[in-house]
Structure 1
Amino acid sequence: MRSPSHVPSHSRRLAGLALFTMLLLSAASSRAATPQESPSAEPMMLRLESGDVLFGRIEESDPDGVRFRRVDTEGVVELPWSLVDPTQRDALRLRFGYVESDGVEEMVDAEKLVLTDGTELFGIVVGRDDQYLWLKRAEGTIPVPRRSLAGASTPARVPALDVYTREELYQKKAQELAEGLAASGREGAEACAELARYAEEILDYAHALEYFGRAKDLDPSFEPQAIEAAIARTEEKAALQEQVDLLARIDLLRARKRYDLAVEALGTFPELYPDSPLLEDWNKLRDRVAKHQERDARAEITRSVYREATRLVRDAVKTKTNYEALVSYLDDGLVEAVLEATSKDLARIAPGITTDEVQRLWSERKGGRVHQSSYGNGTWLLGKARALATYEKEDEKKTEAPAAGSQAEARAKLEQRIERYLRNQELSRSANASAGSDEENPAKFWKEWDRAGRAQWAMAYFAEFSGLFRVEGVRFSNCRECGGKGFREIRFTGSAVAGSKAGDQLIPCPTCHTIGRVRRIRYR
């Protein structure tokens, strides 16, 4: 067992980013420095809760389960403790030194109240009046003002210890088993063992030890091996009840994803109990919290970055009505704002996490949902080259000349006319760069465009060009105004006064500005 002198001196600093970056290292070093009892080297029979039996060796074990190599197939099976026969599971966990709670909680039916500020409260509504709902929780019954509710209560399953005290749960179970507890012989022993196991589930080891002892006294032939193992297990835990309670509370905080509170409590344990025989359990739990913390941080970051990017883009569109100012912000400034907002979102999972850590985890992400954003009628603002650019290499296909008089020939001729027109336009723009019509004025278009369209355009632009997201591909749809041609054909009858000739003329599409396409980005 590790001595107090080996407790890391940085334990007081675990409440910040220290857990997220240092915990992984410190936990790994503590495992290397502290030997554990080696797993079973000899072949053994492992009984499963389903009744099946496996023959083989336990190669590794941890608080979550065992790594078991089968004799018959030489295959390796990862088995969580929940799948192992309860009697053998308890004996093995005691043998390997896993005294801490395994994080499996007693759950009860309750109600969820959502407040107007987004806060969620869980408990049981035990009273109502015109002004308040009275919500029972483990710490007491609290009044919730009706005016602060965002809606009606909804059913929820919550940890029993969030709603009831340990003593309340014990008394409730004892009342349910009152008839059996008053009986003698096998019936009384079964009731006592059931109450003892329930007490152990809610971490009430004193009552668990008491009723395992009563079960043994009432009927010594009732599950003698299991009862003896339970007495030995609960006797050790009862002697360290206060310390076990703290470790169990930390593990339950981990299960509830309250890593900020779990980290703070982890730092206090070696200070409160420097000579504790459970320092090894503290080290294992520290490792476990770090592992789950990073796993949950990686999962949350894939949701948070997109959520914050969407929110900040919409805010920018609302406050920055100038087109050039908005594009400048999207190009330089918004990425850092998204990372900063995401680091605040992750504060409960990884207290004190920096934007650099957020960016690292984000860059290491795998998979994730594919999102889409469209440039809409503002596709032309990108310029033709970027508006029509693709991310997949398109195979060049050789096509035969269209048949004379066919629709394909007419379409080819129209495309040739459009190409000639665009070349002429480029030449005229170079000669009259400063002149430009209001119809092709980006600032004027942006000012008159509706906010929803601007928000979609800005999100698509940010996703494609910020470098924060991975562009999965691009999709195009035809402009609704011109059908994808970029121009409209107008038939003129001519005018003797103006001297113009009759015939078809090409007019640039006022919606897509000759681009002909609406660009949509797919990204993750």
Structure 2
Amino acid sequence: MIAVVLLAALSLALPAAEIVRLVDGSLVHGEITSFDEATGITLERVDTGGVLTLVWGHLPPDEVKRIKASRGFTGEEAAPWMVDVVHLIMRNGTTETGVLQPESDVTAYVLRRRGSSDRFPRSSVRSVEPGKVEGLSVLSAEELYLAIVASLGAPSDAPAHLELAIACEGAKLYDAARDHFLTVRELGPGLKAELVASRLSRIAIKLEDAVETADLDDIRSAIYRRQFELARERAAAFAQTYPESRQRGELMALEVEIDHRKREHFARKVVGDYFGALEGHLKQLSRDSSLSLDVARDLLENSLHQEILDDLAEAYVMTPEAVAQLWEQRRGGSVRTASYGQGTFLLGKSKALDFGRFDQADEEVDPADELEEDFDDLVAKVKKQREALAQQRTTAARGGGLDEVGPTPDEWWEAAEGDARRSWMAAYYAEFSGAIHVIEAKPRDCRRCDAGGYIEGTNEKSEPVLLTCPVCKGLKRERVVRAR
């Protein structure tokens, strides 16, 4: 047991009165007469004798943490203790990991690994990457304990010993954890007595059943490294190997934690992974010269979403239904913009020119942005339309006319480059698959005809004529979709 001779003279009672800082910066001097970890405190003021009931929201976060810590509420979960390391990516393809030492110089890197130092010539190293690993993977037990004390500070009271005990348990330094929990019991018998008793009992079993403990620690390590399937395999092996284990309750808790952390992890990844998979599918489809427009539409509307879910399910080792639930419950994600471009006319006039907003609550919109065009733009367009009518009359009088030019939908699709196809399919999928939240879908001015719907040209007789814009097919617009 760790000696605590220097602590014997310390008073164990909390101060009768203390200064509490409120969220508005004001200070209140008084005695905390009641404390609830979940809700707050009751304080009897020294100056007026009045009683204040303060919920934690009345105090800034650092003050809440201070008050809780002074009463031993420093956190109860024994999380793995991680240390900063570097990964040396060697030119021969291997990776060396350790704590970078000050002795490193221009000729070599020096890494500390479990009690010894290794030197690696810089000429043999291709790159250096920072990282974090569990302490015992690179430090000896003694080195790790000293690192934890250096980080948390040498304990001087019961709450500090409790914090150090929990950290040591998470670092798998069970002897040190037991000693610090015993010190907590000696210095502060009333400080989380039930927690301390429970942890001491648990640590005693861990030390007695050391082989089982090592296997459970391996499961926990796999969870924190996000190797969820490896953790599940190890849990199943533990249950089969030790059917009568006294630590079976901890195994069951770890099995629940595997599912919980796995779901949390992939819930954070699903948005980026989904759109990454979508981009991959669209690139592949855009290069398929045998893919017709009708078949592409059918895939985008009816089957591509499920294919993406199946891809993610395989990568996540989950069921497609579970991935679908993650996708439906997703939050956040960047707003993505896709344009039908020159293929806007494939939608038909009604769909191409439809103006709609969806999910308006998802983002704040400047009222000025709601106007599609300002007054100056409107004047310019009216003027352009009048000029177009005048030109039509002139060409008609000369015997010319308004000629229809440009490809049919199928011709455009067959001739479109891969990027044009991919962009068109991205916009179509966003708007019509039902799998993505559409924020806004609207037409914007065609850049080929400057929203005139026509271009000037000549016919076979070299007579001036107005030609229907080959890009927008007279729609004057190209359609853009913004979605997440």
TM-score by length of 1: 0.58
Q: Cα deviations across residues 392-427 of structure 1 (Å, max 9, x unaligned)?
A: 399999xx9xxxxx867644545778999xxxxxxx
Query: What one-letter code is carried by the residue in structure 2 that aligns with 1:109?
Result: V
Q: Which position in structure 2 is the counterpart of 1:39?
A: none
Q: Cα deviations across residues 193-232 of structure 1 (Å, max 9, x unaligned)?
A: 999887545212135547988x99xxxxx96869998996
* Contact 2:343/2:424 (8 A) holds in 1: yes
Within 5 Å, give how 1:97-136 maps onto structure 2: 102-111=78-87, 113=89, 123-124=97-98
Q: Distance in 1 between matches of 2:351 and 2:15?
A: 64
Answer yes or no: is 1:371 the counterpart of 2:347. Answer: no
* Contact 2:436/2:483 (8 A) holds in 1: yes
1:153 equivalent among 124, 128, 136: 128
State the secondary structure of the residue aligned to 2:448: coil
Answer yes or no: is 1:470 the counterpart of 2:437. Answer: yes
1:169 Cα offset (Å) = 3.7
Q: Cα deviations across residues 242-301 of structure 1 (Å, max 9, x unaligned)?
A: 355444443443333222233334445555555555444444444444333332232221
1:85 Cα offset (Å) = 2.8
Q: Which position in structure 2 is the counterpart of 1:391?
A: 356
Q: Which position in structure 2 is the counterpart of 1:514?
A: 474
Q: CA 1:54–1:379 in structure 2 vs 1: closer, same or farther (change >3 Å)? A: farther
Answer yes or no: is 1:75 the counterpart of 2:55. Answer: yes
Answer yes or no: is 1:362 the counterpart of 2:327. Answer: yes
Query: What one-letter code is carried by the residue in structure 2 that aligns with 1:391?
Result: G
Q: Cα deviations across residues 312-335 of structure 1 (Å, max 9, x unaligned)?
A: 111111234544243343234322
Q: CA 1:490–1:410 in structure 2 vs 1: closer, same or farther (change >3 Å)? A: farther
Which consecutive unaligned segments of at least 5 residues does structure 2 have? Answer: 1-12, 22-30, 43-51, 101-108, 118-124, 150-154, 359-368, 394-402
Q: Which position in structure 2 is the counterpart of 1:261?
A: 230
1:121 Cα offset (Å) = 6.2
Query: What one-letter code is carried by the residue in structure 2 that aligns with 1:455?
Result: R
State the secondary structure of the residue aligned to 1:303: helix
Query: What one-letter code is carried by the residue in structure 1 that aligns with 2:41?
Result: R
Q: Which position in structure 2 is the counterpart of 1:481?
A: 448
Q: Distance in 1 between matches of 2:341 and 2:289?
A: 19
1:469 Cα offset (Å) = 0.8
TM-score by length of 2: 0.63
Q: Which position in structure 2 is the counterpart of 1:88?
A: 72
Within 5 Å, give how 1:415-430 maps onto structure 2: none
Q: CA 1:489–1:270 in structure 2 vs 1: closer, same or farther (change >3 Å)? A: same
Q: Distance in 1 between matches of 2:95 and 2:406?
A: 54
Q: CA 1:228–1:75 in structure 2 vs 1: closer, same or farther (change >3 Å)? A: closer
Q: Cα deviations across residues 111-164 of structure 1 (Å, max 9, x unaligned)?
A: 264999xx99672399xxxxxx999988x99xxxxxxx9x62322233324x42
* Contact 1:304/1:342 (8 A) holds in 2: yes
Q: CA 1:194–1:469 in structure 2 vs 1: closer, same or farther (change >3 Å)? A: closer
Q: Which position in structure 2 is the counterpart of 1:296?
A: 265
Q: Distance in 2 between matches of 1:67 and 1:115?
A: 54
Q: Which position in structure 2 is the counterpart of 1:239?
A: 205
Q: CA 1:212–1:67 in structure 2 vs 1: closer, same or farther (change >3 Å)? A: closer
1:446 Cα offset (Å) = 3.0
Within 5 Å, give how 1:155-174 maps onto structure 2: 155-161=130-136, 163-164=137-138, 168-170=140-142
Q: Cα deviations across residues 79-129 of structure 1 (Å, max 9, x unaligned)?
A: 999874388248x95xxxxxxx6224232222264999xx99672399xxx
1:345 equivalent among 306, 311, 315: 315
Q: CA 1:275–1:68 in structure 2 vs 1: closer, same or farther (change >3 Å)? A: farther
* Contact 1:54/1:70 (8 A) holds in 2: yes
Query: What one-letter code is carried by the residue in structure 2 that aligns with 1:73?
Result: T
Q: Distance in 1 between matches of 2:391 and 2:214?
A: 78
Determine what percentage of the aligned residue pairs are the same residue. 20
Q: CA 1:257–1:175 in structure 2 vs 1: closer, same or farther (change >3 Å)? A: closer
Q: CA 1:445–1:135 in structure 2 vs 1: closer, same or farther (change >3 Å)? A: farther
* Contact 2:34/2:41 (8 A) holds in 1: yes
* Contact 1:373/1:520 (8 A) holds in 2: yes
Q: Distance in 1 between matches of 2:380 and 2:173?
A: 85
1:463 Cα offset (Å) = 1.6
* Contact 1:110/1:158 (8 A) holds in 2: no
* Contact 1:304/1:345 (8 A) holds in 2: no
Q: CA 1:55–1:254 in structure 2 vs 1: closer, same or farther (change >3 Å)? A: farther
Answer yes or no: is 1:445 the counterpart of 2:412. Answer: yes
Within 5 Å, give how 1:196-235 maps onto structure 2: 199-209=168-178, 233-234=199-200
Q: Distance in 1 between matches of 2:406 and 2:451?
A: 19
State the secondary structure of the residue aligned to 1:108: strand
Q: CA 1:412–1:224 in structure 2 vs 1: closer, same or farther (change >3 Å)? A: closer
Q: Distance in 1 between matches of 2:312 and 2:354?
A: 31
Q: Distance in 2 between matches of 1:46 and 1:471?
A: 59
* Contact 1:56/1:68 (8 A) holds in 2: no
Query: What one-letter code is carried by the residue in structure 2 that aligns with 1:202?
Result: A
Q: Which position in structure 2 is the counterpart of 1:4?
A: none
Query: What one-letter code is carried by the residue in structure 1 that aligns with 2:205?
Result: A
Q: CA 1:109–1:236 in structure 2 vs 1: closer, same or farther (change >3 Å)? A: same
Which consecutive unaligned segments of at least 5 residues does structure 1 have? Answer: 1-43, 59-65, 94-100, 127-132, 142-148, 178-185, 217-221, 348-352, 401-405, 421-435
Instruction: Count residues in correspondence.
Output: 396
1:518 Cα offset (Å) = 2.1
* Contact 1:205/1:234 (8 A) holds in 2: no
CA RMSD across the alignment: 5.5
State the secondary structure of the residue aligned to 1:313: helix
Q: Distance in 2 between matches of 1:508 and 1:438?
A: 6
